[in-house]
């Protein structure tokens, strides 16, 4: 079996337990089984020019963690990755802050990572890079002579060609993606958008199902919807934390239901719209007074980027205004937590909440939707209210699907969720749980690795042959 080499912006802690999240754990398990390397940024800013990576060997696995210079962090991480690609790929052209220095820094870091990774590679390795930070990595590795099979998985959406064209680097980005052998997306929509770009703007041709001829090579382009460790998360949810248990009992005594939202405080997650929908629900249904609370957990993220400060202020103002308008001395309708909450508490909090409110304006998949379902008691499950613009909505059709821009519509579906009869809740939940359990993290991993392994009859290593050039943009 070939070794696996995982490259991601941040290198994971390979000694961490399930407490840290299913995805890193699933990838770490695959690494332990096959042996290999996990390479990425160590999260630190060091020196003027970065520095050498540190290597930690754990059994058959090497964890290689590279520092970045403050300038690289500014240009590559906060700059091109999070002020250009993140908003652009989430259809938010209004928030794109394009600066040539950002792209130069992005390319520089991808190249540095490639150079630092090469000494750790063996000819038969399968290289799998993750997400929008590393689009250019395969190209740099190829230029350094690497011929291994290389795969790329995009965790976030891929926009339609018209939107992608707003980036002056669109051709370079797509061309660089074609240096990979497998390009994986979360949904049909994302893979479809990429294929549309190929058809409209490159000479790549489809030669079989999801197979594209690019120069002398064949590139596989497909969707690989990501999943969670459903069984592990369900076990975590049942193992209720003492404080969470007491909070649940208190609510039961008071006859109060809870709506829960858990998201990094990111403008893609639709938090202000969600808050307004809860306000609209209370306005339209005065009978709900003192019977329902909305708990929003929104830990800080990327605070150095201006757009994140703006969303925080907007959300805090909205939470304050709803509480000011509806609270009583013994009821606070909105509880807003701007701190991370441990996974051991999150899971039972999901289980004790009658509605999971997951309403991003755009999201690659959204794991919270899946975690909420996995955490429920199948005999008395809560209801998932899910944005049609989350990748998860492509398959989780038994959720109450909402348009996050339609505040009244969301308020109506919240009311429907709170009043849904037990039988209907059970029926919807059983179908959702079946999906989340089958389409789990291991299934996702196995599907991607099956696509990445060398095609039958073709040895592991093959030439980094020429690829398609771009037609004039």
Closest distance to ligand GDG from the beta carbon of 366 (Å) = 5
Give the rounded distance of the alpha carbon of 3 from its chain centre. Answer: 25
Task: Give the contacts of 103 (CB within 8 A, at least 6 positions apart).
Answer: 80, 84, 168, 169
Task: Give the contact letters, 4-33, x = binds to ligand GDG (CB under 6 A), - = no.
Answer: -----------------x------------
The interface region with ligand GDG, picked from 30-38, 275-283, 317-325, 336-344 by CB under 6 A, is: 336-344
Closest distance to ligand GDG from the beta carbon of 299 (Å) = 4
Decide: is 229 part of the binding site for ligand GDG (CB under 6 A). no
Q: Does 363 participate in catalysis according to the annotation?
A: yes
The interface region with ligand GDG, picked from 34-42, 209-217, 317-325, 364-372 by CB under 6 A, is: 364-372
> Looking at the chain, how many residues does it have?
473
Q: Does 155 participate in catalysis according to the annotation?
A: yes
Task: Give the contact letters, 287-326, x = binds to ligand GDG (CB under 6 A), - = no.
Answer: ----------x-x---------------------------
Out of 181, 363, 429, 435, pick the active-site residue.
Answer: 363
Euclidean distance between CA atoms 314 and 96, whole angstroms: 19
Out of 133, 140, 155, 170, pick the active-site residue.
Answer: 155
Nearer to ligand GDG, 72 or 131 (CB): 131
Decide: is 155 part of the binding site for ligand GDG (CB under 6 A). yes
Task: Give the contact letters, 42-61, x = binds to ligand GDG (CB under 6 A), - = no.
Answer: --------------------
Nearer to ligand GDG, 139 or 391 (CB): 391
Closest distance to ligand GDG from the beta carbon of 300 (Å) = 10
Decide: is 366 part of the binding site for ligand GDG (CB under 6 A). yes
CB distance 370 to 331 below 8 Å? no
Please select the residue that binds ligand GDG; options are 54, 291, 342, 380, rule is CB under 6 A.
342
- Through-space distance between the first and last CA atoms of the chain, rounded to whole angstroms: 42
> Which ranges of 35-177 would DSSP assign to H, the alpha helix?
70-72, 86-89, 100-117, 137-143, 161-164, 170-177
The H or E element containing residue 68 is strand 61-68
Decide: is 443 part of the binding site for ligand GDG (CB under 6 A). no
Euclidean distance between CA atoms 344 and 342, whole angstroms: 5
Burial (Cβ within 10 Å: 0-12, 13-18, ≥19) of residue 227: buried
Please select the residue that binds ligand GDG; options are 30, 163, 226, 305, rule is CB under 6 A.
226
Burial (Cβ within 10 Å: 0-12, 13-18, ≥19) of residue 378: exposed
The H or E element containing residue 205 is strand 205-208
**Ramachandran quadrant class, 242 (left: phi over 0; alpha: psi -120 to 50; beta: rest):** alpha
Decide: is 364 part of the binding site for ligand GDG (CB under 6 A). yes
Please select the residue that binds ligand GDG; options are 25, 171, 260, 346, rule is CB under 6 A.
346
Please select the residue that binds ligand GDG; options are 66, 81, 322, 367, rule is CB under 6 A.
367
Euclidean distance between CA atoms 298 and 262, whole angstroms: 6
Nearer to ligand GDG, 226 or 433 (CB): 226
CA angle (203 as vertex; 197, 204 as ends), nearest 5: 70
CB distance 472 to 200 below 8 Å? no
260-279 positions binding ligand GDG, by CB under 6 A = 262, 264
Decide: is 340 part of the binding site for ligand GDG (CB under 6 A). yes
Decide: is 365 part of the binding site for ligand GDG (CB under 6 A). yes
Task: Give the contacts of 423 (CB within 8 A, at least 6 positions apart).
Answer: none
CA angle (183 as vertex; 302, 201 as ends), nearest 5: 95
Residues marked active site are found at 155, 363
Binding interface with ligand GDG (CB under 6 A) = 21, 155-156, 226, 262, 264, 297, 299, 340-343, 346, 363-368, 371
């Amino acid at each position: 079996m070939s070794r696996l080499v995982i490259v991601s912006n941040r290198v994971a802690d390979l000694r961490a337990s399930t407490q840290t999240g299913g995805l890193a754990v699933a990838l770490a398990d695959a690494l332990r089984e096959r042996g290999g390397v996990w390479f990425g940024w160590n999260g630190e800013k060091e020196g003027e020019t970065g520095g050498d990576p540190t290597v930690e060997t754990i059994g058959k696995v090497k964890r290689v963690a590279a520092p970045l210079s403050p300038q690289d962090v500014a240009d590559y991480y906060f700059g091109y990755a999070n002020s250009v690609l993140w908003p652009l790929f989430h259809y938010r052209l209004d928030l794109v802050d394009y600066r040539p220095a950002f792209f130069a820094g992005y390319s520089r870091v991808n190249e540095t990572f490639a150079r630092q990774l090469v000494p750790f590679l063996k000819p038969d390795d399968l290289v799998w890079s993750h997400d929008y930070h590393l689009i250019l990595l395969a190209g740099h590795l190829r230029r350094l002579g690497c011929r291994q099979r290389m795969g790329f998985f995009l965790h976030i959406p891929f926009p339609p060609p018209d939107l992608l064209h707003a980036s002056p680097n669109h051709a370079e980005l797509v061309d660089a993606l074609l240096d990979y052998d497998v390009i994986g997306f979360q949904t049909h929509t994302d893979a479809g958008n990429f294929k549309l770009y190929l058809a409209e703007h490159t000479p790549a041709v489809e030669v079989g199902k999801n197979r594209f001829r690019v120069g002398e090579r064949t590139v596989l382009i497909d969707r690989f919807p990501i999943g969670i460790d459903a069984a592990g998360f369900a076990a975590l949810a049942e193992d209720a934390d003492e404080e969470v248990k007491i909070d649940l009992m208190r609510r039961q005594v008071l006859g109060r239901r809870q709506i829960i939202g858990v998201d990094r405080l990111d403008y893609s997650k639709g938090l202000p719209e969600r808050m307004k929908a809860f306000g609209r629900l209370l306005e339209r249904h005065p009978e709900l007074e003192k019977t329902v609370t909305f708990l929003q957990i929104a830990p800080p993220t990327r605070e150095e980027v201006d757009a994140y400060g703006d969303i925080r202020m907007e959300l805090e103002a909205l939470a304050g205004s709803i509480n000011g308008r509806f609270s009583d001395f013994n009821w606070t309708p909105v509880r807003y937590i701007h701190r991370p909450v441990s996974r051991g508490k999150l899971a039972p909090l999901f289980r004790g909440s009658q509605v999971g409110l997951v309403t991003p304006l755009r999201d690659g998949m959204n794991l919270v939707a899946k975690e909420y379902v996995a955490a429920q008691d199948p005999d008395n499950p809560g209801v998932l209210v899910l944005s049609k613009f989350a990748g998860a909505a492509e398959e989780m059709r038994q959720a109450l699907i909402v348009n996050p821009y339609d505040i009244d519509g969301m308020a109506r579906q919240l009311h429907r969720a709170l009043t849904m009869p037990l039988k209907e809740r059970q029926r919807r939940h059983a179908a959702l749980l079946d999906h989340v359990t089958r389409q789990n993290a291991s299934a996702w991993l196995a599907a991607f690795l099956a696509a990445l392994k060398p095609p039958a009859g073709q040895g592991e290593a093959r030439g980094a042959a020429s690829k398609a050039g771009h037609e004039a943009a």
